[in-house]
């Protein structure tokens, strides 16, 4: 009999033992225990469903009563009857009523008794039968919760944290009728998961160091709200502003949250790109030293909504504090791995939660730390990320031809770049041999072997501006025809099919079946790999901008978005410089002409060993669309 079969046969005893055991301090080399998984031994259709109203420590709606968040809970009835304590998987979200969750935008559905009869997503269907409770918590000011949503602020984080405190006996919870209720059925161990705003909350709660939070799985999540709404002193027009996000999810009666909404508008300081105390309070990276939970980071390298800066700086801060961690980087945009690598994702997530919440030593922490998608459904693993052997290589700018040269060695020449406010990204990077106003292209020679860039590139330019400030924009480009995941299609790299598959158990009101997806690919002659921007007046400080003297050269350094991409042999790596970029940062065209001293410019790239690729057959074929099919700007943050 296999270990998996013995777990099923030993129902209560095996799950009880796994539940009460602490996660191993470190995992040994994979053994037969790697086959051990929690099995679906509990009856989902008969599970306990309840709602608990939990006191938060704040009263930001000013009604004189502590704000309450609603935790809708589903847990196995048999475990409760046997006195078996179980861990919790929680998705705290502002979207459960306004917008829905997942690729199919599922919302909570309530019965006549006020309890949830259908939970969004598959977490309840899959994990409750395996000995977990699932909690879908409404953030303050959303759905049935009180208080006012403050978009990444103290109220939002404290609201989600209060659920963990209640599970560990540190906060008061009540039924809808007002009776005090405790969570004696819980081990106190919690794993938070969620995509986008939901994953952002997981980051924020982990940064408080709350006891009981064992692991988080932030998917396409923000690590600093400034870096979601701003970029080095510039405003990002592609995303919803903090006040508009508050308005989108707010479910309180008219006028209840006016003062909070006003404070969000004034604090965000929308007229400037400055960093201030408002943004500092919403920067989770600075509190990475408090994180006590393990972290499984998942992000699309081509996410133009929650851009790569969020996983890059969060990952670096976690690494600096020795936080146990794992990372997946895909080629899609703002896409959940359930919709891009479904079967592998569910299996990996299952083992991750089993390890950190049930204490099952299944070997997952001895597996490669990183999974990186190279092309549609072709993945590469690394024992660590960035990979061992990664080193910084300096590239310089040489000459004035079209294109000019990007190479190692010594920079030479100078150029004059005049702002072209109407220049689109497509025109900025395409046809590199053509001279175009407002852009300059630099290219390497044709690559003799594959080149892997893994980490965060940095660019330094020595410039003189004819205006007191100007936007400086840089893009890394892979020049060479290839079939790539089309992250700029309407599905951000996936298309939704009519067929469906099921992941977990179902009830008469809540099925576990979801539409299948396929990768959307396109053949194109180039791909933008990374972008980065800097406002010249913010060159030395994000809090106190200073004008540029028109007679002075300034050495200005900024980071591009992190990446892990391979430029194949036969292609060229390109650097494209422009000034304003109306598509990605707010119109900040000053009409400047900038002189660039190429002898003092450098592009620093983290170059990694190429390594081996591993592929697997997709369950459905990729869908081919025309390249550069751009979705509208201002995509809603979900």
Q: Which residues are catalytic?
A: 196, 303, 334
Tell me whether the omega of the peptide bond preceding residue 403 falls within 30 degrees of 0, making it cis.
yes
Classified as helix, coil or strand, 352 is helix
Q: How far apart are CA 263 and CA 152, in angstroms?
A: 13
- DSSP output for 553-598: -EEEEEEPPPEEEEEPTT-EEEEEEES--TTTS-------EEEEEG
Contact 173, 196 (CB under 8 A): no
Contact 244, 268 (CB under 8 A): no
Tell me whether the omega of the peptide bond preceding residue 84 falls within 30 degrees of 0, making it cis.
no
Of 42, 40, 39, give the one whose Cα is nearest residue 3: 39
Residue 339: partners with Cβ closer than 8 Å, 6 or more residues away: 102, 103, 494, 496, 517
Of 461, 418, 416, 419, give the one whose Cα is nearest residue 589: 419
Which helix (H) or strand (E) covers residue 481, if one does? strand 471-485
Give, in order, the Cα–Cα distances in Å from 46 to each of 42, 75, 117, 396, 506: 9, 9, 12, 65, 10
Tokens of 625: 């669309």
- DSSP output for 256-296: TTHHHHHHHHHHHTTTS----HHHHTTBSGGGGGG--SEEE
């Amino acid at each position: 009999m296999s270990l998996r079969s013995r777990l099923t046969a030993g129902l209560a005893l095996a799950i009880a033992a796994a539940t009460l055991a602490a996660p191993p301090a470190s995992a040994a080399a994979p053994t037969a225990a790697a086959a051990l998984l929690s099995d679906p031994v509990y009856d989902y259709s008969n599970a306990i469903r309840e709602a608990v109203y939990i006191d938060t420590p704040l009263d930001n709606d000013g009604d004189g009563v502590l704000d309450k968040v609603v935790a809708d809970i589903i847990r196995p009835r048999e475990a409760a009857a046997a006195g078996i304590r179980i861990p919790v998987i929680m998705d705290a979200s502002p979207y459960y009523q306004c917008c829905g969750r997942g690729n199919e935008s599922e919302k909570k559905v309530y019965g006549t008794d006020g309890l949830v009869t259908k939970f969004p997503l598959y977490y309840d269907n899959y994990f409750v039968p395996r000995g977990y409770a699932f909690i879908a918590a409404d953030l303050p000011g959303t759905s049935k919760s009180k208080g006012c949503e403050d978009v990444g602020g103290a109220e939002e984080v404290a609201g989600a944290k209060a659920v963990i405190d209640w599970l560990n006996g540190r906060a008061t919870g009540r039924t809808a009728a007002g009776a005090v209720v405790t969570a004696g059925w819980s081990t106190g161990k919690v794993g938070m998961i969620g995509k986008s705003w939901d994953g952002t909350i997981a980051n924020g709660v982990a940064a408080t160091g709350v006891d009981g939070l064992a692991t988080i799985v932030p998917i396409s999540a923000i690590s600093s709200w400034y870096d979601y709404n701003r970029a080095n002193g510039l405003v990002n027009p592609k995303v919803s502003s903090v006040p508009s996000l508050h308005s989108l999810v707010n479910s309180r009666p008219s006028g209840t949250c006016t003062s909070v909404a006003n404070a969000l508008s004034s604090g965000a300081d929308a007229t400037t790109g400055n960093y201030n105390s408002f943004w500092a309070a919403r920067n989770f990276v600075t509190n990475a030293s408090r994180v006590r939970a393990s972290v499984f980071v998942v992000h699309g390298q081509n996410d133009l909504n929650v851009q790569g800066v969020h996983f890059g700086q969060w990952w670096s801060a976690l690494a600096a504090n020795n936080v146990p961690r794992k990372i997946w980087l895909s080629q899609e945009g703002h896409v959940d791995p359930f919709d891009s690598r479904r079967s592998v994702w569910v299996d990996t997530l299952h083992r991750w939660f089993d390890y950190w919440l049930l204490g099952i030593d299944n070997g997952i922490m001895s597996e490669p730390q990183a999974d990186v998608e190279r092309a549609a459904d072709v993945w590469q693993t690394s024992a660590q990320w960035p990979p061992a052997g990664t080193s910084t290589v300096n590239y310089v700018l040489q000459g004035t031809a079209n294109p000019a040269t990007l190479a190692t060695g010594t920079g030479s020449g100078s150029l004059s770049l005049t702002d072209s406010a109407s220049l689109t990204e497509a025109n900025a990077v395409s046809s590199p041999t053509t001279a175009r106003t407002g852009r300059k292209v630099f290219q390497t020679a044709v690559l003799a072997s594959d080149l892997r860039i893994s980490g965060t590139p940095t660019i330094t330019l020595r410039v003189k501006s004819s205006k007191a400030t100007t936007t400086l924009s840089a893009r890394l480009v892979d020049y060479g025809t290839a079939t790539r995941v089309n992250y700029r299609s309407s599905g951000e790299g996936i298309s939704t099919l009519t067929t469906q598959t099921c992941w977990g158990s179902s009830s008469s009101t809540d099925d576990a079946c979801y539409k299948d997806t396929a990768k959307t690919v396109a053949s194109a002659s180039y791909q933008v790999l990374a972008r980065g921007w800097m406002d010249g007046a913010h060159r030395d400080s994000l809090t106190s901008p200073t004008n540029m003297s028109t007679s002075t050269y300034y050495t200005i350094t900024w980071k591009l978005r992190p990446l892990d991409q391979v430029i194949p042999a036969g292609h060229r790596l390109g650097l494209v410089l422009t000034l304003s970029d109306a598509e990605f940062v707010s119109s900040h065209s000053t009409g400047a002409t900038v002189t660039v001293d190429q002898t003092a410019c450098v592009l620093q790239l983290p170059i990694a060993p190429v390594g081996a690729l591993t592929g697997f057959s997709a369950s459905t074929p990729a869908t081919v669309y025309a390249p550069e099919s751009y979705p509208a700007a201002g995509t809603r943050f979900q």
